[in-house]
Amino acid sequence: MAQSGSDKTLDALVIGAGFTGLYQLHCLRDRLGLNVQVVEAGGGIGGTWYWNRYPGARCDSESHSYCYSFSESLTVNWEFSERYPGPAEIRRYLTYVADELDLHKDIRLNTRVVSASYSEDDNLWQINTEDGTTYRAQFLITGVGCLSSANIPQIPGLDSFKGEWYHTGQWPHDDVDFTGKRVGQIGTGSTGIQAAPVIAETAGHFTVFQRTANYSVPAHNGPLTAEFQQYVKENVSEIVDLVRTSPNGHPWKISERKAATTDPEKRRELYEEAWKVGGLRFRATFEDLLKDKTANDTAAEFIKDKIRSIVKDPQTAAKLTNIDHPYATKRPPIDTHYFETYNRDNVDLVDIRANPIVEITPEGIRTEDQEYPLDIIVFATGFDAMTGSLLKLNITGRDGLALSQAWSEGPKNYLGLQVTGFPNLFTVTGPGSPSVLCNMPVAIEQHVEWITDCIAYMRENNIKTVEARADAMDDWVEQVNTAANATLMPQANHSWYLGANIPGKPRVFMPYPGGMKTYADICSDIASDGYRGFTLDS
Give residues in contact with ligand NA7 (CB under 6 A): 147, 153, 186-192, 211-212, 331, 352, 380-383, 436, 494, 496, 501
Q: How far is the CB of 436 from ligand NA7 (least distance, A)?
A: 6
Measured from the CB atom, the residue of 42 and 187 that comes closer to ligand NA7 is 187
Q: How far is the CB of 134 from ligand NA7 (least distance, A)?
A: 33
Please tell me the distance from the alpha carbon of residue 15 to that of residue 345, in angstroms, as a whole number.
46
Measured from the CB atom, the residue of 87 and 533 that comes closer to ligand NA7 is 87
Measured from the CB atom, the residue of 242 and 358 that comes closer to ligand NA7 is 358
Q: What is the C-alpha R_g of the chain?
A: 23
Measured from the CB atom, the residue of 137 and 147 that comes closer to ligand NA7 is 147
- Strands 371-373 and 124-129: what pairing? unpaired
Among 429, 431, 403, CA closest to 499: 431
Q: How far is the CB of 147 from ligand NA7 (least distance, A)?
A: 5
Among 463, 467, 474, CA closest to 535: 467
Q: How far is the CB of 465 from ligand NA7 (least distance, A)?
A: 34
Q: Are 42 and 17 in contact (CB under 8 A)?
A: yes
Q: How far is the CB of 483 from ligand NA7 (least distance, A)?
A: 19
Measured from the CB atom, the residue of 26 and 53 that comes closer to ligand NA7 is 53
Express the helix, strand and coil content of the chain in percent, nearest 5 each: 35, 20, 45
Please tell me the distance from the alpha carbon of residue 344 to that of residue 384, in angstroms, as a whole number.
33
Measured from the CB atom, the residue of 192 and 249 that comes closer to ligand NA7 is 192
Please name the residues in contact with 120: beta carbons below 8 A apart, sequence gap of 6 or more. Answer: 398, 399
Q: How far is the CB of 332 from ligand NA7 (least distance, A)?
A: 9
Please tell me the distance from the alpha carbon of residue 354 to that of residue 218, in angstroms, as a whole number.
27
Please tell me the distance from the alpha carbon of residue 220 to that of residue 217, in angstroms, as a whole number.
9
Positive or negative: CA dihedral 196, 201, 206, 207: positive
Q: How far is the CB of 501 from ligand NA7 (least distance, A)?
A: 5
> 10 Å Cβ neighbour count for 383?
23
Measured from the CB atom, the residue of 26 and 83 that comes closer to ligand NA7 is 83
Phi, psi of 12 (to 5 degrees): -145, 140
Measured from the CB atom, the residue of 333 and 515 that comes closer to ligand NA7 is 333
**DSSP string across 173-233:** SSPP--BT-EEEEE--SHHHHHHHHHHHHHBSEEEEEESS----EE----BPPHHHHHHHH
Measured from the CB atom, the residue of 135 and 383 that comes closer to ligand NA7 is 383
Q: How far is the CB of 67 from ligand NA7 (least distance, A)?
A: 17
Please tell me the distance from the alpha carbon of residue 131 to that of residue 120, in angstroms, as a whole number.
25
Amino acid at 307: I
DSSP state of 2: P
Measured from the CB atom, the residue of 139 and 372 that comes closer to ligand NA7 is 372
Q: How far is the CB of 189 from ligand NA7 (least distance, A)?
A: 2
DSSP state of 280: G
Q: How far is the CB of 533 from ligand NA7 (least distance, A)?
A: 29
Q: Are 281 and 250 in contact (CB under 8 A)?
A: yes
Residue nearest to ligand NA7 (CB): 189
Q: Are 78 and 232 in contact (CB under 8 A)?
A: no
Measured from the CB atom, the residue of 108 and 331 that comes closer to ligand NA7 is 331
> 213 to each of 112, 278, 301, 353, how far by Cα in Å?
36, 20, 14, 9
Q: How far is the CB of 96 from ligand NA7 (least distance, A)?
A: 23
Please tell me the distance from the alpha carbon of residue 127 to that of residue 118, in angstroms, as a whole number.
9
